[in-house]
A and B are shown apart, each in its own frame.
Chain A
Amino acid sequence: MDQFAFDVAHLLAGGLVLISLTMLYQDRLSALIRVFALHAVVLALSVAWQAAIQHAPHLYITAAIALLFKAIIIPVSLLRIMKQLGVHREIDTVVGIGPTMLAGIGLIALSMVVMLRVTAESDPLAREDLAFALSVVLLGLLMMVTRRNVVSQVIGFMSLENGLILAATGAKGMPLVVEISVAFSVLIAFIVIGIFLFRIRERFDTVDVQALERLRGEDP
């Protein structure tokens, strides 16, 4: 495999990490959803590039699914739901954006150290791609942990899932069946959560998780 293909794959994976960080930085829901769409677009590009350099045409379908569902349908419908719900407020974070970003950098460094040490012998492309993918997963988790808002938690979950796909495609492709099922499960999860959103909104007039905790008597 030539150096250029290598570099582009790295750059796209690195871009995905960068966009994950950008998502941590956002403080408005609508901006967050748009950045997530960008995340999905870069994921699709990355998967497509993997398809090209690994000569694995079935990966193109994965890329198309990522592009269609995660970059277009889900963001558009989330934006629409937000419009219907009338939530345009800034995101309520548990800790400030600065410390969150710092934690994010720490997580990336951690995943680099772990991956590069564990896989010292293997194919360098897969190795560094895996390190990036692990970072994306960890950043997604971090986002779910540090946000109080349901919508941003859902987005954190989906970006986590993007990281899983990145890892799977980097490691010489994964069976398409699994991929489709994953994509659909996410879609279903999204629908379920969307319904939940409506319900929560109808009942409690807010989508803040804190409000639910208060209801359970777990006032933080």
Chain B
Amino acid sequence: MMPPAMTLPIILFSVCGFLGLAVMAVALGSSRRATPVLYGGASIVSLVALIASLIQLVAGGHVTPGLTLPMGVPWIGVHFRLDALSSFFVAVIDLGAAVASLYAIGYGRHEHEPLRVLPFYPAFLAGMNLVVLAGDAFTFLVSWEFMSLSSWALVMAHHRDPGNIRAGYIYLLTASFGTLCLLLAFGLMAGPAGGYTFETIRTAHYSGWVAALVLALVLLGAGSKAGLVPLHVWLPLAHPAAPSHVSALMSGVMTKVAVYAFIRVVFDLLGEPSWWSSMVVLALGGVTAVLGVLYALIQQDIKRLLAYSTVENIGIIYIGLGLALAFQANGVTAGTALALTAVLLHVLNHSLFKSLLFFGAGAVLSATGERDMDRLGGLIHRMPVTAFTFLVGSVAISALPPLNGFVSEWMTFQAILLSPNLPQWGLKFMIPAVGALLALSAALAAACFVRGFGITFLGRPRAQAAAQARETDRFSQSAMLLLALLCLLAGILPGVVIDALAPVIQSLIGGRMPLQGNVPWLSIVPIAASRSSYNGLLVFLFIAASAWIAALAIHRFASHAVRRSAAWDCGYPDPSPLTQYSAGSFSQPIRRIYGATIFEARERIEMPAPGDTGPARFRVDLKDLVWDWLYAPIAGIVNFTAGRLNHLQFLTIRRYLSLVFVALIVLLLVLAIWM
């Protein structure tokens, strides 16, 4: 057992290991061994980092002595530190990385050009780890940009596929925008004195408007990486474009690094929040949750569906963060602890089931070559393990008991129920409304994953590729089974996870949730037993036992005869699998109800003229209003200005000189007036 003081060096060595693997990938070139060796190595290295971070977390999360390396900007250096919050996020990152690497040992074989993926993959893992370990603003921003660029390279891995270039372009733009916002935020916090280490920033005090500006900038910067509406547009383009194990990491883990950035700045560095900031975060979270899942509900592409569902879950996380802010602004420590624990639990849960679902989508993609759900179907027969694990992931993400997604949503609901005591009228109005949005998004998520699983895996195959699919390889299967098991364990033993999170909460806000280890029967009790409690283990056992007893009794005492026959379908079975409900027809009622205003969904039927033998066509037009109203005008303005500025490239020397001269005079004038 290593002492906790050693954990930071070990994790840093793991990061060096990742970078070494990246170099090795270039060296190995396109050798056939490269894929298993590199992914196996990445898996082992992340496992080491995972164990180190878990030891740090279990040891109570004392801040280990930071490391300062004489690199980077001379007067700042490069600081690394590992406190409870970082070690939790290191654990989330490296758990995801270890499983994704395991999955990729098998999945990576299907890669046509492995050199486009292999060097960047370990670099991406290193970048995410470094962001969380950074102990000063400079290191943080450099690591953040490193993470963005390496993931951009991975998004562009299949750059020949149509649409991927656009995805990469938009991703690059939003990533740069996000980094810019974070840069400005840290600049504001460092102040003119230039205290760039987190220790200095934490001790400083900020006036109201500086704090507000920093919060807005962090919301933009971290929110654009996390996929907060309306900054989410890049996410459903970029995440599906990458290879599936990278999609899993980007959706399941990288968005969590963005959540880390938000928590680090707002709860750790910035000090006391104001109550109206929680209003903004709550509103953004609620809108993100509902819009994200509504978009997910109308997608045909299974990986885009999953990416939009990530947007939804980020919304749920931000709702929790908003609640925590509201409680903290009013000094209700129990509420802050509950809401923040719910947030961190959902961070962990979402990283588990979203990785699992992307793995499943990847397995389907490599088995059939299809991402379009309307060309899939019936895969439960051909790919039983993938289908089973995808089902577990779907139940978990739909927030259904006894799996883990329900626990974190349940805790968020409990936090909402604590909030009527908050004195501000705005919050009294906002919190129940956001609660309704949260409940709505949970119900819509269930609908979304009934559709996702049902169309992809159930029914009859809609295309030849789906009818001839083959189960995926052992490595991928074991990765998916491992995650499914973790989803179940986190769902039935949430108390253990909550207790493990306690040091993180303690170090952030100076309070924590009550100890869950003492509660009898492994229940979880957020506030008091008379108020609310939930026991995932018992619910799971009860369901399992009653289903088993019912099945046993019926098979023992009643009939167990089975006869196979053609489908009944009310007497009108149709042999063509095209008569099944498709992805589009399944979501039609929901599209009609919600989509008419939100997507301006319009249905059109084109009937051929009488006598014409051509087929009638049914078309649905959808619009992305966020894109049309926000981004299209911005793009228009940028285009216009660029066109105007284009003239500046064709000036004479004299004009250039006069431009420089005018700029100098203006600056001097500003200085003269300002002083």
Contacts and interface: CB of A to CB of B under 8 A. Distances in A.
Interface of A: 96, 98-99, 109, 113, 117
B425 A117 contact: yes
Contact of B429 (A96, A98, A99, A109): A109
A8 B431 CA distance: 28
B597 A113 contact: no
Interface residues of B, number: 6
A9 to B, nearest CB: 23
Interface in B418-442: 425, 428-429
Contacts of B428: 113
A113 B596 CA distance: 31
5 contacts: A98-B593, A99-B597, A113-B428, A113-B429, A117-B425
B291 to A, nearest CB: 16
Please indicate which of the listed interface residues A99, A109, A117 has the most CB atoms of chain B within 10 Å of its own CB: A109
Contacts of A99: 597
The 8 closest A-B pairs by CB, nearest first: A113-B425, A109-B429, A117-B425, A113-B429, A99-B597, A113-B428, A98-B593, A96-B596
A117 B593 CA distance: 36
A113 B424 CA distance: 11
Contacts of A96: 596
Contacts of A113: 425, 428-429
A104 to B, nearest CB: 14
Nearest to A114: B425
Given A99-B597, A113-B425, A117-B425, 4 more contacts: A96-B596, A98-B593, A109-B429, A113-B428
Contacts of B597: 99
A113 B429 CA distance: 8
B109 to A, nearest CB: 50
Contacts of A109: 429
A109 B428 CA distance: 10
Contacts of B429: 109, 113
A138 B485 CA distance: 54
Nearest to A113: B425
Interface string B588-602: 000001001100000
B198 to A, nearest CB: 40
Contacts of A98: 593
Contacts of B425: 113, 117
A96 B425 CA distance: 29
Nearest to B433: A109
Interface in B547-596: 593, 596
A101 B597 CA distance: 15
A199 to B, nearest CB: 37
Nearest to A109: B429
B599 to A, nearest CB: 15
A98 B597 CA distance: 11
Nearest to A116: B425
Nearest to B428: A113
B595 to A, nearest CB: 12
A128 to B, nearest CB: 15
A100 to B, nearest CB: 12
B203 to A, nearest CB: 38
B250 to A, nearest CB: 35
A99 B598 CA distance: 12
A117 B425 CA distance: 8
A114 to B, nearest CB: 10
Interface in B387-445: 425, 428-429
A101 to B, nearest CB: 13
Nearest to B436: A105
A98 B593 CA distance: 9
Nearest to B597: A99
A99 B593 CA distance: 11
Nearest to B426: A113
A196 to B, nearest CB: 34
A109 B425 CA distance: 10
A113 B593 CA distance: 30
A109 B430 CA distance: 10
Interface string B256-297: 000000000000000000000000000000000000000000
B65 to A, nearest CB: 52
B437 to A, nearest CB: 12
Nearest to A99: B597
Interface in B370-395: none
Nearest to B429: A109
Interface in B92-116: none
B560 to A, nearest CB: 48
A83 to B, nearest CB: 34
